[in-house]
């Protein structure tokens, strides 16, 4: 038996089978999660389908009001949900620069309210004696949301709130590593929304695959790895599902020689290590001009050697890596970099004992073709590479299959902006990285995804256009 439930058609649903949920700091199972079958999926899709006509016709102002109420309710349960996040995800409540579970809950609440206030007004293309032509935005129907384990609740909110705001109904499947915060939040949300509007089922990738082939789901919004995104894209073809795919990133940052190292280093460190490096748009490859290379390496190493890593339930800067597979990958990338002769300025070896702990690691003098540079590590390890020619740095930064974010750092903002606009990525920052907000579109180019989230642009992705042509003549 589990203390947690699926939510289908507004009701808490128990299951015959459960799967264990581990605390990555202790490697101990601390809860059982109900495991949905394909029958549960069919029931959830049928409930969402039944709820759609009424929800899609609900007055826009009423949907906005209800979503504000969802934001308020989640805020009222912030402490409880943040504690659950720490248990299943590992992140500390406060953490380095205050970017832990409390920060995730702050984002949850902020995104609810900001998205509740967005609107998609009718656009008038023509209005003369001959005709009036209007462009309307209509909801797609039933949206399937599949989420990852790094920001379990924040990413769920990024998916479901714009989907609901624009009149769709939703079925969400959280990651099997971190399902509980989402199940608990779904209970809270279902006390506000009509039955069937927002359903949550839990299970592994096979349940996600069943969602992406389901003939009665109209769109999949997915955040996760690029290989899984490709599988979803292939299996969504059956009924031409609409897709928003937010996939992996291997973001590069270029630091020009006029950069104030002491001012930039703490920001670079924070945006590389946000969420213990397990962030899609974290800074993951740092290219520094040779004139300031050693100064930047030493400044980053000083910060890295001063932070603490440990069980997120204590007062630490960083928690464990969320799961064994990711931990093993970070360990392997570090070991390969070490074998290649790279210079380690901090960390480098997994922490002995229980828990998936890996200390914050800064790696200098590393070759471009090392796996740590070529692949997204998704953990607390940052390679620092040297350049002498800016065009060469730009070429190396763009030499990646990914294109989520990128940044340029300089005291000459105009020069940095011109260079940033030549980065092949969905968001380019100047003197910052990984900063997102609810009204600015965010998404990847190349193999980092399809479509964008946030703001009016993100909201439009949950709609199709209907053109109304009214002849007057
Ligand atoms: P993952 O692709 O392994 O899993 C994500 C989700 O997909 C889980 O819920 C999983 O159960 C499900 N899934 C697995 N196989 C599936 C299949 N065949 N069909 C449908 N669903 C399936 O990713 P992850 O390991 O949870 O997350 C880490 C990755 O996510 C990193 O690469 C990271 O960069 C990326 N990410 C991207 C963003 C972004 O906004 N671009 C944000 C966070 C994470």
pLDDT along the chain (473 residues), means of 10: 92 98 98 98 98 98 98 98 98 96 98 98 97 98 98 98 98 98 98 98 98 98 98 97 97 98 98 98 98 98 98 98 98 98 98 98 98 98 98 98 98 98 98 97 98 98 98 90
Burial class (CB in 10 A: 0-12, 13-18, 19+), 99: buried
The pair of structure tokens assigned to 289 is 């001009």
Note the pLDDT of residue 376. 96
Beta strands at 242-246 and 18-23: parallel, antiparallel or unpaired: unpaired
The pair of structure tokens assigned to 387 is 């350049």
- Residue closest via CA to ligand 1's atom 16 equals 205
Q: Which residues line ligand 1 (CB under 6 A)?
A: 146-150, 173, 175-176, 204-205, 208-209, 212, 223-225, 228, 231-232, 246-249, 280, 376, 378, 404, 444, 449
Backbone angles phi, psi at 324, to 5 degrees: -65, -40
- Residue closest via CA to ligand 1's atom 33 equals 248
The pair of structure tokens assigned to 281 is 């748009």
- Ligand 1 pocket test, pick from 148, 230, 333 with the greatest ligand atom count within 8 Å of Cβ, gives 148
Atom in ligand 1 nearest the alpha carbon of residue 229: 2
Contact 252, 403 (CB under 8 A): no
CA 206 to chain centre: 21
Note the pLDDT of residue 1. 62
Specify whether 375 is catalytic.
Answer: no
Sheet containing 463-471: give its strands across.
Answer: 123-127, 131-139, 463-471
The pair of structure tokens assigned to 318 is 């960083």
Of 88, 104, 176, 246, which one is the catalytic site residue? 246
Distance (Å) from CA 154 to ligand 1 centroid: 14
Backbone angles phi, psi at 317, to 5 degrees: -80, -40
Specify whether 246 is catalytic.
Answer: yes
- Residue closest via CA to ligand 1's atom 10 equals 205
- Ligand 1 pocket test, pick from 155, 201, 225 with the greatest ligand atom count within 8 Å of Cβ, gives 225
Note the pLDDT of residue 2. 80
C-beta neighbour count of 401 within 10 angstroms: 12
What crossing angle do the helices spanning 293-304 and 261-273 adopt, rounded to 10°? 50
């Amino acid at each position: 038996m589990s203390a947690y439930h699926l939510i289908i058609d507004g009701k808490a649903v128990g299951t015959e089978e459960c799967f264990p949920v581990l605390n990555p700091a202790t490697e101990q199972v601390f809860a059982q999660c109900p495991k949905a079958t394909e029958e549960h999926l069919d029931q959830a899709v049928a409930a969402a389908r039944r709820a759609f006509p009424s929800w899609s016709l609900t007055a826009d102002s009423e949907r906005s009001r209800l979503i504000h109420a969802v934001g308020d309710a989640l805020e009222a349960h912030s402490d409880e949900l943040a504690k659950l996040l720490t248990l299943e995800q590992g992140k500390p409540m406060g953490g380095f620069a205050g970017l832990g579970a409390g920060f995730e809950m702050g984002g949850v609440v902020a995104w609810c309210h900001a998205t509740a206030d967005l609107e998609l007004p009718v656009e008038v293309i023509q209005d003369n004696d001959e005709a009036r032509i209007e462009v309307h935005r209509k909801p797609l129907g039933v949206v399937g949301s599949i989420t990852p384990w790094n920001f379990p609740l924040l990413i769920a909110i990024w998916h479901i709130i714009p989907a609901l705001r624009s009149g769709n109904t939703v079925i969400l499947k959280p990651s099997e590593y971190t399902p509980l915060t989402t199940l608990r939040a779904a209970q809270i949300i279902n006390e506000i929304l009509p039955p069937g509007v927002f359903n949550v089922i839990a299970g592994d990738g096979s349940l996600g695959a069943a969602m992406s082939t389901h003939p009665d789901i109209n769109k999949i919004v997915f955040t996760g790895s690029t290989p899984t995104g490709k599988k979803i894209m292939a299996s969504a073809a059956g009924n031409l599902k609409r897709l928003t795919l937010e996939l992996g990133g291997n973001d590069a940052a270029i630091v020009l020689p006029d950069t104030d190292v002491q001012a930039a280093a703490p920001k670079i460190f924070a945006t590389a290590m946000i969420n213990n490096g397990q962030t899609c748009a974290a800074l993951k490859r740092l290219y520094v001009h040779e004139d300031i290379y050693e100064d930047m390496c030493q400044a980053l190493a000083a910060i890295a050697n001063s932070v603490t890593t440990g069980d997120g339930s204590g007062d630490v800067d960083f928690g464990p890596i969320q799961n064994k597979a990711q931990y093993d990958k970070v360990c392997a990338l570090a070991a390969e970099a070490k074998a290649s002769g790279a210079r380690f300025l901090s960390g480098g070896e997994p922490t002995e004992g229980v828990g998936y702990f890996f200390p914050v690691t800064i790696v200098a003098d590393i070759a471009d073709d090392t796996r740590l540079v070529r692949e997204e590590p998704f953990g607390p390890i940052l390679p620092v590479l040297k350049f002498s020619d800016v065009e060469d740095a730009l070429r190396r930064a763009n030499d990646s299959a990914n294109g989520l974010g990128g940044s340029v750092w300089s005291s000459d903002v105009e020069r940095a902006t011109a260079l940033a606009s030549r980065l092949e990525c969905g968001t380019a920052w100047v003197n910052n990285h990984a900063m997102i907000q609810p009204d600015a579109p965010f998404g990847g180019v190349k193999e980092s995804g399809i479509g964008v989230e946030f703001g009016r642009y993100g909201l439009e992705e949950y709609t199709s256009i209907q053109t109304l042509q009214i002849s007057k003549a």
